[in-house]
Amino acid sequence: MPGINWSFLCDYAFADEKGRASIIRTFSHIHAPRLPIRYPQLFLALEFIAQKGEDFSIGAVITAPSGKQVAKVELNRKGKGEKSGGTEKGFLPFGFYHLLFEEEGEHHVEIYINGSSVHYMPLMVRAVQTPKKKI
């Protein structure tokens, strides 16, 4: 079964033409002026390792502190070529757009491979009240 070498939450991630990862501004906290907030974009960037030619599904679920699902993404990866004894690494950026965060606290970003949870990352969402300026 494939595994995860590393993962980050970030503003943007992509792979260049040679498959090299580019990750822009990693974070683990969202400081919102108020809740609920519609967050414009968040990426989960990860590197997997798998057997060459292996088919598998991979995805992620973001849940709020109450357990309510905020977002879910999944894809089925088809292995290239015939299965062999070697392993391969791959980079995947998952984009989440227009997420609605309604709750303050620790959200969970859970990564699944073939339907089984293999990694978890916390994402703290806080409402930060800005003090009013005195006139």
**Per-domain boundaries in the chain:** 3-118
E strand residue ranges, the chain: 3-15, 21-26, 29-32, 37-51, 56-63, 69-77, 87-101, 105-113, 116-127
Nearest one of 47, 58, 52 to 81, comparing CA atoms = 52
105: left (phi over 0), alpha (psi -120 to 50) or beta: left
Q: Is the pLDDT of residue 132 over 70?
A: no
Q: Is the pLDDT of residue 43 over 90?
A: yes
Is residue 111 a contact partner of residue 120, using CB atoms and an 8 Å limit?
yes
The mean per-residue pLDDT over the stretch 116-129 comes to 94
Taking only the tens place, the pLDDT of each residue in 49-94 is 999 889 999 999 999 999 999 999 999 988 776 666 788 899 999 9
Taking only the tens place, the pLDDT of each residue in 2-38 is 999 999 999 999 999 988 899 999 999 999 999 999 9
Q: Which fold has domain 3-118?
A: Immunoglobulin-like (2.60.40)
Q: Is the pLDDT of residue 133 over 90?
A: no
